[in-house]
Structure 1
Amino acid sequence: MAVYTHVPAEVLDALLTRYAVGTLVSAKGIAEGVENSNYLVETTKGRFILTLYEKRVAAADLPFFMALLDHLSAAGCPVPRAIPARDGTQIQTVAGRPACLIEFLSGVSPTTPTAAQAGAAGAALARMHLALADFTGARPNSLGIAGWHQLAANCGDALDRIAPGLGGRVADELAWLDAHWPAALPQSVIHADLFPDNVLMLGDAVTGVIDFYFACTEVRAWDLAVAHAAWCFDPGGTRFDPALSAAMIGGYEAALPLSDAERAALPALARGACLRFLLTRAWDWLNTPADALVTRKDPLAFLNRLDAYAGGGLL
């Protein structure tokens, strides 16, 4: 979450008249994240999240995301649905951007996850995968291998401004992944971004899974690999925690066992996860506007993870 687009109070007031959610009490921009503009909105009837979709989220994809969240919610998964306006529409236009008013879910994202929390997150991910077995929507993964090549090309020589030799390291990893990517594994719609800050918890219980705006049709086990890379290292990616790893994979498999092929592919999938976040973070590092209320994230934290997975022995 982040704030790129300012929404005046009078615009919020006018928006809320379209809903049966009460009148505006307060609104505060949320600085975490890098994708969309988000506000915590409090009304006389409760709390909500207002999301304005910025450049990386295509307006044409929003109906897919809304249908996905409605499907998961109906299956009992703790996800925030977009609230329909009085006329039934979920997607609005606010300050020139597509926007949704979204349910507020209780809970706090863990900053230093415990093994119990990692296990609960793995189980929640597996339950979402099971719930999506009969979901008929589909969306191509714009940040798969072809997208990584394009991002690397777009960053170009500027990668070496982030770290000397980074461009060559990225090129070598792209070549390795081209040769080893396990594309024949089972596919489904996946979350594709299950970081700790996209999971809300009360104690060791998952109360919400949020930010589905990278959800796509992809190798299902890649979702677990993304979560593994996000949860099982310290923030800088320099220290791996085997207890978190065992708990996350164990939690997932308690609900949805991995096949032998999926388990064997996890190291390659994890390397792909690291390269994906290295490149998107690098692009944001090089291109985030100086006046945006947003915290840039260090791409080298995922280079460290990538090197750890490439060294073997973690999965």
Structure 2
Amino acid sequence: MAVYTQVSAEALGEFLARYDVGELVSAKGIAEGVENSNYLVETTRGRFILTLYEKRVNAEELPYFMGLLDHLADKGLAVPPAIKDRRGVEIQELEGRPACLIKFLSGVSLSHPTPAQAEAAAIAMADMHAAVADFTLDRPNSMGVDTWRPLFEKCGHSLNQIAPGLHDDLAHAIEHVTANWPGDAFDRCAIHADLFPDNVLMLGDDVTGLIDFYFACTDIRVYDLAVMHSAWSFDATGRSYDAAVGDALIRGYSSRFPLTDVEQAQFPTLAAGACIRFALSRAWDWLNTPADALVMRKDPLAYVRRLKHYAPDLVKHST
């Protein structure tokens, strides 16, 4: 989440008038994240999230995301579906951007999850995977393995402005991991693809919501767990690995979907791929984020250090 597009009180009031949600009381921009512009909106009838979709989210793909959230909500999962206006429309336009008003979920996102919280979150992910068994829509992974080299080449040698040797480290890692990427024999389904701790809401050890599905796609099911493992099992710098949290994630997920021998053997490659994906997207944002955007840039090297944990031989220079 972030704020790139500013919304005036007048425009927001007119927007809310399309819905049966009461009148505007306040709106506050949410700075965390990097993808879309988000506001916490309070009206006379409650709280909502307003999301304006920025350039990285293709407006033509919004029906996929809305359909997935509606599907999961209908299955009883704690996700935030878009709210329909009086005409039954979910996707609107505001300040020249596609926009949705989204259900607000209670709970807080965690900075330092405990093993018990990690296990509960992994079970919630597994329940999500079970719930999409009959979900029929399909979306390729917009940040999948085939996109890494093109994004790497767009960043080019500017990567070395972030850290000396980063260009060569990522080039070597991409070559190795893509050559060893698992094939079509692995189970595929709709995955979240971005289930960081800040995309899970919790009260104590209970999961109250899974949010921010705008990288959701059809891909290798266990890759979703690998993304989660790389996101939850380290401190923010990527220097310190918490084995208790990492083990709890595997244990929680395996209680619903036991990992096969092949999945266990390929898990380091999947996790290394997750590290490459986030190192690249963070690097691109680091090099290209507008100076006046209300957004928190995230350190690409935190994921290069994680990559070194999963594949020690692939990182030689930049950490």
Which TM-score tier does this pair reach, normalised by the shorter chain?
Answer: over 0.9
Q: CA deviation at 1:183?
A: 2.3
Matches within 5 A, 1:274-289: 274-289=275-290
Summarize deviations over 1:265-314 as a string: whole Å, max 9, x none: 110000000000000000000000000000100000000000011039xx
The residue that corresponds to 1:310 in the other structure is: 311
Summarize deviations over 1:45-86 as a string: whole Å, max 9, x none: 000000000010000000000000000011111100000000
Q: Distance in 2 between matches of 1:167 and 1:3?
A: 30
The residue that corresponds to 2:235 in the other structure is: 234
Aligned length: 312
Q: Distance in 1 between matches of 2:261 and 2:52?
A: 42
The residue that corresponds to 2:38 in the other structure is: 38
Matches within 5 A, 1:209-220: 209-220=210-221
The residue that corresponds to 2:139 in the other structure is: 139
The residue that corresponds to 2:167 in the other structure is: 167
Mapped contact 1:80–1:105 kept (Cα < 8 A): yes
The residue that corresponds to 1:17 in the other structure is: 17
Mapped contact 1:36–1:51 kept (Cα < 8 A): yes
The AA in structure 2 aligned to 1:187 is R
Q: Distance in 2 between matches of 1:188 and 1:235?
A: 29
How large is the RMSD of aligned CA atoms in angstroms? 0.8
TM-score by length of 2: 0.97
Pair 1:254 & 2:255 matched:
yes
Matches within 5 A, 1:100-249: 100-184=100-184, 185-249=186-250
Mapped contact 1:127–1:256 kept (Cα < 8 A): no
Q: Distance in 2 between matches of 1:162 and 1:115?
A: 33
Q: Secondary structure at the match of 1:255?
A: coil
The AA in structure 2 aligned to 1:7 is V
Q: Secondary structure at the match of 1:105?
A: coil
Q: Secondary structure at the match of 1:239?
A: coil
Q: Distance in 1 between matches of 2:178 and 2:8?
A: 47
Mapped contact 1:191–1:212 kept (Cα < 8 A): yes
Summarize deviations over 1:190-219 as a string: whole Å, max 9, x none: 000000000000000000100000001111
Stretches of structure 1 lacking an aligned partner (at least 5 in a row): none
The AA in structure 2 aligned to 1:91 is I
Q: Distance in 2 between matches of 1:279 and 1:244?
A: 25
The residue that corresponds to 1:98 in the other structure is: 98
The residue that corresponds to 1:265 in the other structure is: 266
Q: CA deviation at 1:177?
A: 1.2
Q: Secondary structure at the match of 1:64?
A: helix
The residue that corresponds to 1:57 in the other structure is: 57
Identity %: 62
Mapped contact 1:195–1:231 kept (Cα < 8 A): yes
The AA in structure 2 aligned to 1:171 is A
Q: Secondary structure at the match of 1:278?
A: helix
The residue that corresponds to 1:27 in the other structure is: 27
Q: Distance in 2 between matches of 1:250 and 1:165?
A: 36
Q: Secondary structure at the match of 2:190?
A: strand
Q: Distance in 1 between matches of 2:260 and 2:85?
A: 43
Q: Secondary structure at the match of 2:310?
A: helix
Q: Distance in 1 between matches of 2:44 and 2:260?
A: 50
Q: Distance in 2 between matches of 1:160 and 1:83?
A: 44
Q: Distance in 1 between matches of 2:285 and 2:9?
A: 29
Q: Distance in 1 between matches of 2:83 and 2:15?
A: 12
Mapped contact 1:183–1:219 kept (Cα < 8 A): no
Q: CA deviation at 1:189?
A: 0.9
Matches within 5 A, 1:83-94: 83-94=83-94
TM-score by length of 1: 0.98
Q: Distance in 2 between matches of 1:266 and 1:127?
A: 20
Q: Distance in 2 between matches of 1:280 and 1:247?
A: 27
